[in-house]
Structure 1
Amino acid sequence: MNAELMRLISNIIRTGVIFDVNPQTWEVRVRSGGLETGWLRWSTARAGAFSVWVPPATGEQVAFVCIGGNPETAIIIGSLWSDDIPAPGSTLKEIIMTAPDGAVFRYDADAGALEVKGIKTASIQADTRITLDT
């Protein structure tokens, strides 16, 4: 196999760390080994009728694919836990979201418990009705 073909194959899937984020264009720059990428689009859980906005952060470890092995065509395909940014939970029956200001949103399916803490304000708006049952 020639060197160029090996280079392209080696570049198909890479990991790296985000060092710059542009939230207006939904792009990041990543360091991976000796490579500093150009601006790459990040993926999202949903981008249709239902849409999810969770922008990546500098220092976040990511995986990216390079179409044809060319880093100039790369897109971010997901984030990875790291020693610098470990997972906020460790059980299979909970969902946890943390925010940069320390807010935590947690649902524990084993306990049937929803916990929201560390927020400053909360607002619920409804056109017709709000019902709270205990």
Structure 2
Amino acid sequence: MSRILTDAIRRITELERRQANMLRIGTVEQLTAKPPRVRVRIGPLLTTWLRWLTYRAGNVRTWSAPTVGEQILVLAPTGDLAQAVVLPALNQDDYPAPGDNPAETVAVFPGGLRVRTLADGSAVIDATALTLKAGQVTIDAPVATTSTITSAGDHVADGISLKQHTHGGVDRGSSQTDPPS
């Protein structure tokens, strides 16, 4: 074969290889958090350490590391897997979809936390515990509870303190006030 033809075949073969590597399905095999990287198994091939895409990475930043065993997509725009990035994710038997209602968005986290947003604008948070830390919390809605409310602080309703209000016309000692009217 002529040198020109041999060179053309080599170049075509390389282009075909790169094209085949542009988008591949793989499984996360290893993960490191600092720096955030994963190694992905694509058939017999184990990639080098690759970055994964995140939802936001500017003034607003999000963190959600892939899971070892999670199926993902590897995107290599030039076909060079060493320069690829990891795209999330494909449901599979080990990690099935957490919902089946197209009108809901559902997120499930390790430990049992489940967050659902519904088409009517409501949200449901199922958790073993929930801590809200803020300088102030305002709830602009009626509040209902199905269990006991425990507080280490005071309760104030219409300016009346539960801990510090007094009742007039009561004899000190064992006397009780009348029930509220």
TM-score (norm 1): 0.88
**Equivalent position amino acid for 1:89 in 2:** G
Matched, 1:6 2:28: no
Which has the larger share of strand?
A: 1
What secondary structure does 1:6 align onto? helix
* Residues 78-104 of structure 1: CA deviation (Å, up to 9, x unaligned): 211122211101112111111111221
1:89 aligns with 2:99: yes
Q: In the alignment, which residue of structure 1 is the partner of 2:5? A: none
Residue aligning to 2:124: 115
* Cα separation, 2, equivalents of 1:16 and 1:109: 33
Deviation at 1:132, TM superposition (A): 4.7
SS class of match (1:130): coil
Cα distance between partner residues in 2 of 1:97 and 1:70: 33
Q: How many Å separate the matches in 1 of 2:116 and 2:136?
A: 27
Higher gyration radius (CA): 2
Q: Do the aligned partners of residues 122 and 132 (structure 1) sit closer, same or farther apart at CA in structure 2, a change above 3 Å counting?
A: farther
Summarize the Cα distance change of 1:129–1:113 in structure 2 as closer, same or farther, 3 Å threshold: closer
By relative contact order (CA 8 Å, sep 6+), the higher-ranking structure is 1
Of the three residues 131, 135, 139, the one matched with 1:127 is 135
Deviations 1:38-83 (A, max 9, x none): 1000001111111111111001100011131111111012211122
Unaligned runs of 5+ in 2: 1-8, 143-181
Sequence identity, in percent?
33
- Measured after TM superposition, the shift of residue 18 of structure 1 is 0.2
Query: Secondary structure at the residue paired with 1:16?
Result: strand
Instruction: Report how many residues are paired.
Output: 132
Task: Give me the TM-score of the superposition, normalised by structure 2.
Answer: 0.67
- What is the CA–CA distance in structure 2 between the aligned matches of 1:132 and 1:28, rounded to whole Å? 44
Counterpart CA distance in 1 for 2:39 and 2:105 is 28
1:115 Cα deviation from its structure 2 partner: 1.9
| 1:56-75 alignment runs, 5 A limit | 56-75=66-85
Runs of 4+ residues deviating >4 angstroms: none
**In the alignment, what sits opposite 2:112?**
102
Query: SS of 1:8's equivalent?
Result: helix
Q: Larger deviation: 74-83 or 22-31?
A: 74-83
Distance in 1 between residues matched to 2:136 and 2:116, nearest whole Å: 27
**Residue of 23, 27, 30 corresponding to 1:17:** 27
